[in-house]
Structure 1
Amino acid sequence: MGVVLEDLQDTIRNKEFLKKVVPVEEAVTWIQDGMVLGVSGFALFGEPKFFLQKLAERGKQENFKVDLYTGASMGPSADGAMVESDLIGFRLPYQANPILRKQINKGKVTYIDQHLSQTSESLRQDIIGPIDYAVIEATAITEDGLLIPSGSIGNSPIFIEQAKNIIIEVNLNLPKEYEGIHDIYIPELQGERNPIPMKHPSDRFGEKGIRIDLDKVRGIIISNENDSPSPLFEPNEITQEIANNLLSFLDEEIELGRLTEELAPIQSGVGSVANAVLSGMKHSRFKNIVIASEVIQDGVFDLIEAGVVKFAYATAFSLSEKRVASLKSDLAKHQDKIMLRPQEISNHPEVIRRLGIISFNTAIEIDIYGNVNSTHINGTHIMNGIGGSGDFARNAKISIFVTPSTAKDGKISTIVPFVSHIDHTNHDVDIIVTEYGYVDMRGLAPREIAEQLIENCMHPIYREQARRYFEEAKQVSGGNTPHILHKAHAWHLHFQKHGTMLLDE
């Protein structure tokens, strides 16, 4: 890319950093077989797209692999292009790319599915790493050497702190309005750590950018890449009913005096249910809502503009093509109402508990005692990963999991006798919601939970066989959580053999 250094002075405002500008073709040659890369990016935003595309092109010509650490899922420039070039040997802490998923499940890529709050601590403890290169997208470098991130922070601060070398991709095509929305705070080492100084979600206690050791910066490359939009998950009839039931639960909590109309800070997963819930809040009694989540989605901007949300923080944006197009003006209008933080702060267990966050996330399957599988199909094949759901579920004021009652046109029940993989035990789950209703598990014993989940959340076509299993388990095995071990996964086995969980078919 033919860029005159004088033209970069408004973006790279520190002259010493200007001296580090190199062609991307040179920078990609520094990456060698077996190196560990700590790469910026979270939920398609903030990844160094130009560098990774060029690295993938080199990977098609040369035989080498790298270990790839990120904030969370990455877009086609990272996970997509790199796995297609067979560059990824190891991956953590989260992914959502279908090609990479296949390679993981075939055993061709080693994958650690990790709580998103834990990657930084694993690096500090030398459990993973060391990082050879941190490769970070930036929108600017300030006069005093702060790197201004783009649409995500994720693990970038810890990658920069721990890396032997740093490559910065300054993206000239991104909104300059990103500058000012970041709050970078890095905790001290465990055992020497001060309390994270957040009393209110809108408190600013960090720096506006990431401080960098100039001596570790090997090179700066220049790009003109667009932010990557996320798919817009429109609610359907079932997900809308799930959202309505969840909103009804929150209304009931207000009526019981457990919540006010301001609720408590909200964390939501990504998808059609989350969008339906956020959309429903526009026409609800709720007001002055705070979002304290991993991602800021379209619906959050909609609620800010409707006057329902007063403040939102996360570690990244996850926006549709429409919102990506309007992001420059949205940032200018709402800069005092949004903030991005490192994921070890947005997902910090103590902060989640201190703020009293209401968390809702999606399950793949749930068993009759409230244990949740968020990650695996038939107990073996990974879908995406646990992401931040564990950080929030264990520590939230109210932990909610949502799922449609069936999948595969009714051939699979998502409420089963015993989940095939456990990510969240019933000790970390408060509320379960499907399109048929919700169950408040708080204060209920396991047998009471089973009765209510079967009757209130399970699809009607599966209820009778669930009742039979539960009654037989009580008679044959007894116990606090009655099970018949050789029948506990009979529904899964029947599906594998016959293509349906309905035992009479």
Structure 2
Amino acid sequence: MLFEDRVLYPEFRARMVSADEAAALIAPGDRVGMSGFTGAGYPKAVPGALARRMQAAHARGEDFRIGLWTGASTAPELDGVLAQAHGINMRMPYQSDPSCRKQINAGDMQYMDIHLSHVAPFVWFGFFGKLDVAVVEVAGVLPDGRLVPSSSVGNNKTWLDQADKVILEVNQWQPAELDGMHDIYYGTDLPPHRVPIPLVQPHDRIGEPYLRVDPEKVVAVVSTHHPDRNSVFNAPDECSQRIAGHIVDFLQQEVALGRMPRELLPLQSGVGNIANAVLAGLDAGPFKHLSAYTEVLQDGMLAMLKSGTLDSASATALSLSPAAMERFLADIDFYRQRIVLRPQEISNHPEVIRRLGLIAMNAMIEADIYGNVNSTHLMGSAIMNGIGGSGDFARNAYLSIFMTPSLAKGGAISCIVPMVSHVDHTEHDVQILVTEQGLADLRGKSPTQRAELVIEHCAHPDFRPQLRDYVERAKANPVGRHTPHLLGEALSWHQRFVQTGSMRG
């Protein structure tokens, strides 16, 4: 297919340039909003060209770094090359790249880890300063200049609206059949002029299929033909299958108790192998005619759509493994009738999440005995990835579920600890904790009752005696017994690991 077949707006054809020419329009110190959400829909060519400019500038002794804003994590062709070029001075709102992570934890890159639902509003409010440049991948341009979004929407609407200059990457690898799969809502406004978002069912369409852009702001259009790069998901192991089994059993019990309908409530699932295992367990379970309102659509939900377990899915991005992407492309007409892709300010909107009554299922690094959850930091100080959308969903969902294996690092680390080393989700936002050991329903429980449930149902047997001992001794604390802690020991497990390589006493 010729490039012109995807760009039907004559003015944009006249602005076709190479990636190097487009990258030359980005200046040192610029704040740059790039498309991309969890390995989907990110620009494939301009970041690499920009990284080469940065390396050349650094070789001349010049500083060349930018502020990089995206929807969420991207891929090595964006985060990786810019980090390796030492070209990012501030990264937000989420990353999962090893080079970025290394520089952030070394103090060489600033990183603002925030709730994904906050990004677009905060940019509109002007909290982060002016956005200089947007670099956005699209699948095509219509004759009137509107843009066909690609495999993710993320914050693209906001970048296109707010940036002074816009660079478009038109990726011909992105299937033309994506046309019509998106729902771009332009009804948000700044306080005090906001009105309710008119979305009452996960599959509702409340916007339009295309992104808008002021043609005068588009300074370059680059042709690409490169696939998204997403992770390969492992087949569910025994640990993940046991976690999935506990959750399926729990949801069946909730239906039997009349607390939710037989088709459940809309599902939200985080990213990763455990999340996909839970979705596989739901697909093999007794539930039918389910729906999903989530931020990323992974392999597990694609399989549920194909099997008929899931009737529809709303997300902001496709986050499919290469094998699942092949299945998606081979049957795209089937999936485009069942999938809606939205801006992340809508997919992660707290009020919509609360109204729809979601079942939120997210992974964690560790939880403590009272139900506080750490989903971002190792040993309190080193960032892993970021909070992503888990906070948007956890605080506002009908059911807030967090899951993890009970052990890490070959058994050297207990993922259930006396006190988490970093708090992302407080005990007030966490209802259910699940490990392969079991499930703890914390609803309606006091702190000491929660501690008993978490230790007995979620902690690994090797660490239960230590946890019980900690609680019993903490109850003698003269300061108070409502949430018993020994301040001199609360983080001693983490300190022991840092010093010895194991939390075991």
Q: Which range, TM-score by smaller chain?
A: over 0.9
Aligned to 1:336: 337
Counterpart of 1:307, as a letter, is G
Aligned to 2:61: none
TM-fit CA distance, 1:261: 1.9
Mapped to 1, the partners of 2:230 and 2:91 lie a distance apart of 23
Mapped to 2, the partners of 1:336 and 1:173 lie a distance apart of 21
Matches within 5 A, 1:106-505: 106-186=106-186, 187-477=188-478, 478-503=480-505
TM-fit CA distance, 1:460: 0.5
Counterpart of 2:504, as a letter, is L
Mapped to 2, the partners of 1:413 and 1:227 lie a distance apart of 35
267-276 or 224-233: which moved more?
A: 224-233
TM-fit CA distance, 1:435: 0.6
Counterpart of 2:497, as a letter, is F
Q: TM-score, normalised by structure 1?
A: 0.97
Equivalent pair of 1:407/1:414 in contact (CA under 8 Å):
yes
Equivalent pair of 1:227/1:324 in contact (CA under 8 Å):
no
2:31 equivalent to 1:36: yes
Equivalent pair of 1:454/1:467 in contact (CA under 8 Å):
yes
- Match among 46, 51, 54 for residue 51 of structure 1: 46
Structure 1: segments with no counterpart, 5+ residues: none
Mapped to 2, the partners of 1:369 and 1:185 lie a distance apart of 40
Q: TM-score, normalised by structure 2?
A: 0.97
TM-fit CA distance, 1:474: 0.6
Aligned to 1:80: 80
TM-fit CA distance, 1:442: 0.6
Equivalent pair of 1:361/1:389 in contact (CA under 8 Å):
yes
Equivalent pair of 1:138/1:169 in contact (CA under 8 Å):
yes
Mapped to 2, the partners of 1:362 and 1:474 lie a distance apart of 30
TM-fit CA distance, 1:8: 3.8
Counterpart of 2:491, as a letter, is H
TM-fit CA distance, 1:227: 2.0
TM-fit CA distance, 1:223: 1.1
Counterpart of 2:238, as a letter, is E
Q: SS state of the match for residue 102, structure 1?
A: helix
Q: SS state of the match for residue 220, structure 1?
A: strand
Which string of whole-angstrom CA distances, capped at 9 and with x for unpartnered residues, describes residues 274-296 of structure 1? 11111112221111111111101
Q: SS state of the match for residue 117, structure 2?
A: coil
Mapped to 1, the partners of 2:292 and 2:443 lie a distance apart of 24
Q: SS state of the match for residue 262, structure 1?
A: coil
- Match among 1, 7, 18 for residue 23 of structure 1: 18
Mapped to 1, the partners of 2:135 and 2:398 lie a distance apart of 36
Equivalent pair of 1:261/1:285 in contact (CA under 8 Å):
no
Mapped to 2, the partners of 1:22 and 1:122 lie a distance apart of 32
TM-fit CA distance, 1:469: 0.7
Q: SS state of the match for residue 38, structure 1?
A: strand
TM-fit CA distance, 1:58: 2.1
Counterpart of 1:84, as a letter, is Q
Q: SS state of the match for residue 45, structure 2?
A: helix
Q: SS state of the match for residue 462, structure 2?
A: helix
Which string of whole-angstrom CA distances, capped at 9 and with x for unpartnered residues, describes residues 301-354 of structure 1? 111111100000100011111122233233222211001000000000000000
Equivalent pair of 2:435/2:458 in contact (CA under 8 Å):
yes
Mapped to 2, the partners of 1:424 and 1:300 lie a distance apart of 25
TM-fit CA distance, 1:487: 1.1
Aligned Cα root-mean-square deviation (Å): 1.2
Mapped to 2, the partners of 1:25 and 1:99 lie a distance apart of 23
TM-fit CA distance, 1:127: 0.8
Q: SS state of the match for residue 159, structure 2?
A: helix
Aligned to 1:60: 55
Equivalent pair of 1:182/1:209 in contact (CA under 8 Å):
yes
Number of aligned residues = 498
TM-fit CA distance, 1:357: 0.5
Aligned to 2:97: 97
Structure 1 stretches of 4+ moved >6 Å: none
Q: SS state of the match for residue 410, structure 2?
A: coil
Counterpart of 2:177, as a letter, is E
Which string of whole-angstrom CA distances, capped at 9 and with x for unpartnered residues, describes residues 348-373 of structure 1? 00000000000010111100000000
TM-fit CA distance, 1:226: 1.5
341-350 or 26-35: which moved more?
A: 26-35
Which string of whole-angstrom CA distances, capped at 9 and with x for unpartnered residues, describes residues 69-105 of structure 1? 0000010100111111111111000000111101000
Aligned to 1:10: 5
Equivalent pair of 2:125/2:190 in contact (CA under 8 Å):
no
Mapped to 1, the partners of 2:327 and 2:229 lie a distance apart of 13
Q: SS state of the match for residue 326, structure 1?
A: helix
Mapped to 2, the partners of 1:86 and 1:462 lie a distance apart of 42
Which string of whole-angstrom CA distances, capped at 9 and with x for unpartnered residues, describes residues 180-229 of structure 1? 10100131112111111101111111111111101111111111112223
Mapped to 2, the partners of 1:433 and 1:40 lie a distance apart of 34
